[in-house]
Amino acid sequence: MKVEDIKRVAIIGFGTMGSGIAQVVAQAGYEVIARDVTDDILKRGLEMIRSGPFGLEKAVEKGKITREQAEAALSRIKVTTDLASAVKEADFIIEAVFENLELKKKIFREVDELAPRHAIIVSNTSTLSITALASATTRPDKVAGMHFFNPVPVMRLVEVIRGLQTSDETIEVVKGLAQKLGKTPVIVNKDVPGFVANRIGFPAILEAIRLYEEGVASAQDIDNAMKLGYNWPMGPLELADLIGLDVLLDACESIYAETRDPKYNPPMILRQMVRAGWLGRKTKRGFYVY
């Protein structure tokens, strides 16, 4: 299979990441069918694509695309709650549900049974083992990681992760699709926890949280130190709020469970903020009030 053979893309999971992925895939000219478990989730996902902060309406307002291009992209997105109808004619399937290994393995097992034999199945996981996900299928050579970054319509990076049994052909197709979506792929040759970007970035964010927890400096000053001293476009605590403190906590706990490296052990203040429901921008409160 070659990237030119991809005509229809199925996306399993239509939350923040799944809807963002659907948007960029549709804008690139592909037919998209998105699946989630309830009609309400599907409606919210479509609304995010239409009029969310990084949606098609904003892109039109900023002059990045025309009204006609926005309408054409939206017309290419179909939604369903039925997994079989989502994947039965798909050439490429992107799983984008939340970070739970057993749930993802269940989805991979079901998709493997329902999808055409030529279809490639990838996961948008940020930390979990691609090899473990591939083990739930009868096509481990056609399974890879395709890790997008939030917000998907804006962030250019896509990590392409090779599982133990992923074929070279599959890696080339995933890399080629990322490029057709206007992204820059980074090839991760070993299936390690956190891959590349999060493996480097999370310790920096957690260290900033520890400094905040210890009262060394204010959130604003910690962020300014990295923006002005290291030329980061966004401070580590601002970035934590954007990622979502619950998402950050889960991801770091996942890497820590695999590596037992203390630099990935989340600080207590992060755990407490998540317990309090302070999850960052999406709840209007995190290290900052929005």
Active-site pick, 124, 129, 167, 198 = 198
Q: Is the Cα dihedral 144, 190, 259, 225 positive or negative?
A: negative
Place of tokens 């995010």: 48
Q: Rounded to an integer, what distance in angstroms lies between the CA atom of residue 87 and that of residue 9?
A: 8
150 is catalytic: no
Take residue 50 and report the two structure tokens written for it: 């239409």
Q: Rounded to an integer, what distance in angstroms lies between the CA atom of residue 185 and that of residue 53?
A: 24
- For residue 123, how many other CB atoms are within 10 A of its CB? 29
Active-site pick, 159, 167, 238, 254 = 159
Q: Rounded to an integer, what distance in angstroms lies between the CA atom of residue 135 and that of residue 164?
A: 10
85 is catalytic: no
Active-site pick, 126, 129, 167, 254 = 126
The CA-based angle 260-265-269, given to 5 degrees, is 165
Active-site pick, 123, 147, 238, 254 = 147
In the chain, where does DSSP find H-type helix?
A: 16-27, 39-51, 56-61, 67-75, 83-87, 101-114, 130-134, 168-180, 197-213, 219-229, 236-243, 245-259, 268-275
DSSP calls for 79-134: EES-HHHHHTT-SEEEE---S-HHHHHHHHHHHHHHS-TT-EEEE--SSS-HHHHH
Calculate the alpha carbon distances from 90 to 23, 42, 116, 118, 244 in Å: 17, 19, 7, 9, 31
Q: Rounded to an integer, what distance in angstroms lies between the CA atom of residue 73 and that of residue 77?
A: 7
Active-site amino acid positions = 126, 147, 159, 198
